[in-house]
Amino acid sequence: MADEHWESERSRSLQVLLDGHGIAVPDERGEPILDDTFLMAFHAAPEPRRFKLPEAIWGKVWCRVMDTERGFAPAHGQSGERFEAGAEIDVVGRSLWLLRRIS
């Protein structure tokens, strides 16, 4: 990003994919390390914003783990909010969402 991009209003929001299958270093026994894949949506502006989730190549279905407005979602075995790839989520100002890839 160039300096002028950091000054833009749009730079106050960011999505980060943490790929649990992208860990290149093996564990102590030489086994691959596999974990869940997470998507974090950071929003630093004071006004709400609508985020569009990534396309299906990154994950077909996502489940809300937590957000700073409502806290943690129900445990894995219970029903929680699910979102299809490309869905839009409404995020309040100065907040964070954490989603886990289901498929």
Identify any residues that bridge with 15 across adjacent strands, giving them in sequence order.
41
Q: Which amino acid is at 59?
A: G
pLDDT above 70: residue 77: no
pLDDT tens-place string over residues 47-69: 999 999 999 999 999 999 999 99
pLDDT given for residue 10 in this prediction:
67
DSSP state of 15: E
pLDDT above 70: residue 89: yes
pLDDT above 70: residue 78: no
- The C-alpha atoms of residue 101 and residue 67 are separated, in whole angstroms, by 15
pLDDT above 70: residue 81: yes
pLDDT tens-place string over residues 6-49: 677 667 899 999 999 988 899 999 999 999 999 999 999 999 99
Contact assessment for residue 51 and residue 42, using Cβ atoms and an 8 Å cutoff: no
- The C-alpha atoms of residue 77 and residue 53 are separated, in whole angstroms, by 23
Contact assessment for residue 63 and residue 29, using Cβ atoms and an 8 Å cutoff: no
Please state the pTM of the whole predicted model.
0.84
Walk me through the domains of the chain, giving residue ranges and CATH numbers. Answer: 12-101 (2.60.40.1180)
- The C-alpha atoms of residue 28 and residue 3 are separated, in whole angstroms, by 42
